[in-house]
């Protein structure tokens, strides 16, 4: 007697939700301190920090996505640039069995939550190796940022719909 696979079980297995990390890596990194060594002659260290955080994702194969978090921090002291640090922390993630909306959420929030501690460590290490106190980035609520981005996108879509209706 031969075992025959249950067609329903096979269909269910093929649509089973999967989310896993395949690889985490640094895609790009840069540290610049244009005014060294004079920048180290500061009498007081009261840094002004400008922080930019962005993300991007792309499908690289069936069910596999590359997600890249980009952090750029420009730190000034007494209106002089002390340093500029840029980090692109990336990962390959296996995401399968989710609808489009859930996949976007995973890419835009959950993957960012995974990548951020690694990027934060690189930023801290680079600034310390550059001769400055470590730049410790505060935790980020990527769920809230994702929700805000979706609300903004919805509002812009509604405004475009309203504008299109008034033109007709």
The CATH number linked to 54 is 3.10.420.10
Residue 162 lies in a domain: no
What global pTM score does this model have? 0.81
15 or 82, which is more confident = 82
| Confidence tier at 154 by pLDDT (50, 70, 90) | confident
Note the Cα 100 to chain centre separation in Å.
Answer: 19
Residue 10 forms part of a structural domain: no
Q: Domain range spanning residue 46?
A: 20-151
Alpha carbon separation from 122 to 40, 48, 96, 157 (Å, rounded): 22, 20, 30, 37
Residue 43 confidence class, pLDDT cut points 50, 70, 90: confident
User: Is residue 28 situated within a structural domain?
Assistant: yes
In a domain? residue 68: yes
Residues in a beta bridge with 15: none
Per-residue pLDDT for 63 more than 70?
Answer: yes
121 within some domain: yes
Neighbouring-strand partners of residue 28: 88
Provide the number of structural domains found in the chain.
Answer: 1
Domain annotation covers residue 167:
no
Please check whether residue 110 lies inside any domain of the structure.
yes
Mean pLDDT of all residues in 113-124: 98
In a domain, 59, yes or no: yes
Tell me what pLDDT residue 2 has. 47
C-alpha span between 61 and 69 (Å, rounded)? 19
Tell me the average pLDDT across 48-72.
Answer: 96
- Residues above pLDDT 70, as percent of the chain: 85
pLDDT band at 3 (very low <50, low <70, confident <90, very high): very low
Q: Which residues contact 91 (CB under 8 A, 6 or more apart)?
A: 21, 22, 23, 24, 25, 66, 67, 111, 114, 115
The pLDDT score that the predictor gives to residue 160 is 62
């Amino acid at each position: 007697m031969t075992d025959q696979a249950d067609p329903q079980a096979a269909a269910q297995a093929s649509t089973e939700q999967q989310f896993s990390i395949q690889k985490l890596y640094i895609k790009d990194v840069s540290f610049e301190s244009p005014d060294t060594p004079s920048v180290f002659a500061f009498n007081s260290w009261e840094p002004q920090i400008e922080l930019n955080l962005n993300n991007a994702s792309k499908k690289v194969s069936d069910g596999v996505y590359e997600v890249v978090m980009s952090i750029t921090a420009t730190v000034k002291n007494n209106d002089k640039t002390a340093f500029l640090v840029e980090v692109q922390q990336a990962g390959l993630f296996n995401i399968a069995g989710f609808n489009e909306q859930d996949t976007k959420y995973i890419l835009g929030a959950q993957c960012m939550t995974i990548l951020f501690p690694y990027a934060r460590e690189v930023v801290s290490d680079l600034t310390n190796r550059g001769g400055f106190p470590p730049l410790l980035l505060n935790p980020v609520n990527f769920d809230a940022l994702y929700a805000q981005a979706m609300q903004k996108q919805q509002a812009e879509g509604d405004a475009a719909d309203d504008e299109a209706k008034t033109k007709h």
